[in-house]
Structure formats: C-alpha cells, structure tokens
Structure 1
Amino acid sequence: MAQQTKKRKQQESKVDVEKLYTPTEAIKLARELATSKFDESIEVAMNLGVDPRHADQQVRGMVSLPKGTGKTMKVAVFAKGDKATAAEEAGADRVGAEDLMEDMQAGNLDYDRIIATPDMMGIVGRLGKVLGPKGLMPNPKLGTVTMDVAKAVEDAKGGQVQYRVEKAGIVHAGIGKASFTEADLKENFDALVSAVVKARPTGAKGKYVKKIAISSSMGPGLKVDVAETSAV
C-alpha cells in the first residue's frame, strides 16, 4: 500500500491542479500517467447542470465511438426463431429466452449489454430488479429493444457505449485505452461530448456543461477547459 501511495504522489506531482488543460493536453498527460501493468482505460467525467431527480432533466443515450472502446463487449440477447439465429450470427455471446432469464435470476449477469426483441419483454420484465440497478435493462430509447437484433449486437461489439447521468449530475464514460493514440482518443472524446451535448434535456436551465475531467483508470483527474472543447 505504501508503494501505491508513493506512485500516486509521483503522478499528482506532474499535475497542475490549477490549470485547465485543453482536451489534447489532458489526453496526452492521462496516457503518460497510465503506468499500471494493465492497459488502463481513459475516462471522461462531465459535470452537467441538471438535477436527475426530475424526469425532464434525465440525460441518457448511446454513442458509437469512431475508434472503438478497446474493450471486448459481452452481449446477451433475448430472442427466438430467426431473430435468435440472426443474433448468434452477429456475434452475440449468449442467446435465449426463458432459459436465459432463469440463468440471470441465478446470478449469472456477466454481460456488458443486454438486447431483446419486443416480444421478449414480458420475460425480460421479470428481471427488472436485477437488471435495473446495473443499468442493463433493455430500453427501446437506447436501441436495445429492437427487431434488428443483428445491428444492435454489431453496434455493441463495434464501439458503442452507453452514458447515463448519475445522482450528482455527472456522466462517466470510457473513451478507449491508454494504448490508443492521442488522435484516436481525441476523436472518441469529441464524439462522446457531442452526443451528451445533443442529449441536453428540456428541463436543463443555465449552463449545461459545467466541468469536464479526463483521467486514466488509476490516475488523477485532469481538469479540462470547457471553452476549448469544440463540441460544447
């Protein structure tokens, strides 16, 4: 633990806590500070001027990162017949109906995305208490309740990420790995910020994007100059 504390101090000594970095500067430094033995994620936190307790101030959606996520997405699909076959051919990790529901009820929830055809929602609805808290409940607004399960699976596997505002008005999302190039991370950053800005709810008043920070999984946060962010 002492060694970890020393490492953290070394990381923080390279960060100017008073400075507002440009997105490119923050991405570059976040990559430099990602010194763990594993390939750390590069993450973005956006502090928004919303109160998620109000229905008209919810911020939630999907965005396809142009350079992918660097993460292998594990996808489960609730479907039958031809749609089940299409999901399997698209690369779904697990496809089923009642059997899949029972498996999830038993605690097997190691999935990053769950997709369902509309006719399966009666079965999926029984999993609300376990899927809801994990943000895994299929939702037509997010494109995870759809007849085109093949496209939904391909999108999930191809770099699509979900974002959702938390209680404190903050959206967290990964934009790739430290092994990505700075240019690729910047492109993904711009795509994420643009999507969140476009998702501004009708109930949001005043300044919408208040703060942005970029960090690696194990590194300190770097404050970004919102004015230097092209998508805002």
Structure 2
Amino acid sequence: MATARPCLGQLSRTCLQFTRSTPTALPIRLFSTSTANGARGKYTPPIVSKKEKVLPQSTNKYIKKAVVKKKKARTTYIQYDLSKEETFPLLDAMRIIRAWEVGQKPTSVKYELALKLKSQKNGPVVRNRLRLPHPVKTDFRVCVICPPDSAYAEAARAAGAVLVGEDDVFDAVKAGKIEFDRCVCQTDSLAKMNKSGIGRVLGPRGMMPSSKLGTVVVDPVKTMKDMVGATEYRERMGVIRMAIGQLGFTPEQMSTNLKAFIEAVKKDLSRISDKINKELVEVVLSSTNGPGLPLNGAFKGTNTSVTSKELSGP
C-alpha cells in the first residue's frame, strides 16, 4: 500500500516547530542602527602577550622614514666667492654710475660706499664718526639737549643749533618733529634725557646721544664744531655704509674720501679684541639710483677709455 505524502501545510508546521525549538542562547550579536552609541558598548583591544615577537620593519629601500635634521644656526654671515666676479677701477665705476644718474642734480645724488666684513653675527659691531676731507653734506642741523637757561644753551644758539633745551626737545621728538640731523646732550641733562623715553624714537634712527659716540659732552659747542662735515657710520648685518661724495665730485676728491673711509674702518677693526676676527672682504660703490659696482682698488684700469677731466664736470 502506498504511503501518504505530506502536504504543504504539514511541512510548514514542521518547520515552525523546528525554529521554535532552537535554543535562544546563541553566540550571535545583533546590532541595530537605531541604537545609541553608548548602548553598543566600547571596543576593548585584544591583550597582546609580552612574549609575542614584534615583526621587524620592512627592509625595502624604497620604504624609508623621513628623518628631519635640525640645521645648525650660522654664527657668521654668508660669504660668496668673489674670485670670479668682475671688479672695476674707480674711473670706470664712476662713469657707469653717472650714466645711470643722467638728468639728476649733482647735489641731490650721493655716492655711497659699502664695506662688507667677514664678521660674526652676535659679536661687537664697528661704530664711529668720521670727518671726510671733502664733506658730503654741508647743511648740517644739530640739536642740543641742555638746561634752557644755562650758558651752554646761549652758546649753542649762537653757534647755529636748530633746537636747544630739554622739555621742548623731548616734546618735539615724541611728536615726530625731528628736524635735525644730530643730537648732542650736555652732561647735566643726561639723567633727565634718560627718563624722557626719547630713546625709543631716536635709537632706531642712530641719533640717540651716548658717551660711546662722543655725543654726551660737557661743552656742546665744541662738539658741534667738530661735527660739521662729519658723518656717523655703523656696522649692520656685516656691512658698513656711508655717503662719501656727491655726483659733482671729481675722481680725485672721491679717491681721497674713499681712502680716508677705508683707513678709518681698518683702525676700528684693529681695536677689536684678538678673539674676534673681522676682515674687510669687499668694497662696493653705488649711488642713489645707480647699481653697486665692486672696486678692485685701482684708480684707472688698463682699458679705461674715460679720463679724470671728463668726469670732473657736473
């Protein structure tokens, strides 16, 4: 006799009974996207035993870590090789510069000499005042800080000082009305000048009176007479710059001023301590609008086509 086959309803009831009989404690974690992050629990990394060996780093030459090395700070200024640079005699340099200054007034353009030193960054600087054989600037304005009712004030006004006194000078400087080229302080007014705070204004300009520069003196009138035609120079970033002539100066006048300036700087270098070495490595002549031309120390070159007389006129 043939067995009866189960129908579709019997099979569905059998499957339903099997699913209900399945134990509920299954090792399955179900996560819902609507559940808050805090309810899901925190991830705890697996504990690695200390006995486990750490895999060695890759030996591939193309996989290298970038090692950043700190550069050592330079103690001296950068020096360039000047052996291959073109240098000029004085006549050729003046001819090129005057060609750049065509159409300018001879009194408005100044020749400037730059002396480059081999020097340390944090060492002592060269600073002094020089009176050139041929003064570059004649309209020299001097301010004198001294008691306004003293004999020094009367003598300074008679000598041609543009501004004399104490409080008047301090107020003018703080207001930005600096209508003078040099400032001299009498020793009796030194304490009052230091308390006034004008050093913040005159210091960056190089005009603050100091005993090192010889501008804090007992007799201001005597210093004023010595200052007429004198120019201060100071080393900045390993370079000393100073105006040594006007456009209308002759080559002979320029040569005299140039030699006086270089000799004065060399004397200043010789006074510095032996532990600190400063050397003169380059001399560059330029002008207000012209380029800078390195000089070779000669007055006239072998191929110089211009003469001294041709450069003597304005």
Q: 1:154 and 1:52, CA in 2 relative to 1: closer, same or farther beyond 3 A?
A: farther
Higher share of residues assigned helix: 1
Determine whether 1:147 maps to 2:214. Answer: no
**Rg comparison, structure with higher value:** 2
Q: 1:215 and 1:89, CA in 2 relative to 1: closer, same or farther beyond 3 A?
A: same
Q: Partner letter of residue 102 of structure 1?
A: D
Q: What is the count of residue pairs matched by the alignment?
A: 207
Q: CA RMSD in A?
A: 2.1
SS in 1 for 2:128: strand
Q: Partner letter of residue 82 of structure 1?
A: A
**Structure 1 stretch 22-31 or stretch 146-155: which is displaced more?**
22-31
Contact 1:36 1:218 in 2 (8 A): no
**Structure 1 stretch 86-95 or stretch 172-181: which is displaced more?**
86-95
Q: 1:105 and 1:182, CA in 2 relative to 1: closer, same or farther beyond 3 A?
A: same
Q: Distance in 2 between matches of 1:58 and 1:79?
A: 29
Q: Distance in 2 between matches of 1:31 and 1:148?
A: 42
Q: 1:116-195, aligned counterparts within 5 Å?
A: 116-125=185-194, 126-157=197-228, 159-166=229-236, 168-195=237-264
Q: 1:180 and 1:70, CA in 2 relative to 1: closer, same or farther beyond 3 A?
A: farther
- Cα deviation for residue 41 of structure 1 reads 0.3
Contact 1:46 1:213 in 2 (8 A): yes
Q: TM-score, normalised by structure 2?
A: 0.61
**Structure 1 stretch 31-40 or stretch 215-224: which is displaced more?**
31-40
CA shift digits 1:64-83 (9 cap, x unpaired): 11111134222111023111
Q: Which of 69, 75, 79 is the matching residue for 2:142?
A: 75
- Cα deviation for residue 35 of structure 1 reads 2.1
SS in 2 for 1:174: strand
- Cα deviation for residue 51 of structure 1 reads 2.5
Aligned to 1:8: none
Contact 1:91 1:153 in 2 (8 A): no
Q: 1:89 and 1:51, CA in 2 relative to 1: closer, same or farther beyond 3 A?
A: farther
Q: Distance in 2 between matches of 1:155 and 1:137?
A: 18
Q: Distance in 1 between matches of 2:185 and 2:291?
A: 38
Q: Which of 58, 69, 81 is the matching residue for 2:125?
A: 58
Aligned to 1:14: none
Q: 1:14-93, aligned counterparts within 5 Å?
A: 18-38=85-105, 39-54=108-123, 57-80=124-147, 81-93=150-162
CA shift digits 1:75-116 (9 cap, x unpaired): 111023111122222221111112211111111123211111
- Cα deviation for residue 129 of structure 1 reads 1.0
Q: Partner letter of residue 30 of structure 1?
A: I
Q: Distance in 1 between matches of 2:187 and 2:282?
A: 38
Contact 2:145 2:164 in 1 (8 A): yes
Query: Identical aligned pairs, as a percentage?
Result: 30
SS in 2 for 1:123: helix
Q: 1:193 and 1:108, CA in 2 relative to 1: closer, same or farther beyond 3 A?
A: same
Contact 1:27 1:186 in 2 (8 A): no
Higher relative contact order (CA 8 A, sep 6+): 1
SS in 2 for 1:103: helix
Q: 1:156 and 1:24, CA in 2 relative to 1: closer, same or farther beyond 3 A?
A: farther
Aligned to 2:70: none
Q: 1:28 and 1:199, CA in 2 relative to 1: closer, same or farther beyond 3 A?
A: farther
* Runs of 5+ consecutive residues of structure 2 not aligned to the other structure: 1-83, 300-314
